[in-house]
Amino acid sequence: MKPVIHSNPSRKSPLPLDRSLYRLRYRVECFFHDVKRFRAVATRYDKTATSYLAVLHVASMLLWLR
């Protein structure tokens, strides 16, 4: 994984930023924010990863249908 974070604006020589990677990171962050609004996803600690993944899929489908 490659970190995609803006550099400090007051820095004398700003670090390069890959805008396409930054946009993708932003979309992923927004997706997880929306998914965690579902109470079943935010407070769920299942015994198996597959059952948690199933709840995550249902929440994703509901978001997509909105």
pLDDT of residue 61: 93
Number of domains in the chain: 1
Q: Name the helix (H) or strand (E) containing 41.
A: helix 39-42
Is there a domain that residue 51 lies in?
A: yes
Is there a domain that residue 63 lies in?
A: yes
Is there a domain that residue 30 lies in?
A: no
pLDDT in tens, 25-38: 899 899 889 888 88
Judged by phi (left if over 0) then psi (alpha if -120 to 50, else beta), residue 40 lies in alpha
Is there a domain that residue 12 lies in?
A: no
Please tell me the pTM assigned to this model.
Answer: 0.63
- What is residue 34's three-state secondary structure? helix
Go through the chain and tell me how many residues it has.
Answer: 66
Is there a domain that residue 56 lies in?
A: yes
Domain of residue 54, residue span: 40-66
Is there a domain that residue 50 lies in?
A: yes
Is there a domain that residue 17 lies in?
A: no
Angle in degrees, 0-180, between the axes of helices 19-36 and 49-65, rounded to the nearest 10: 100
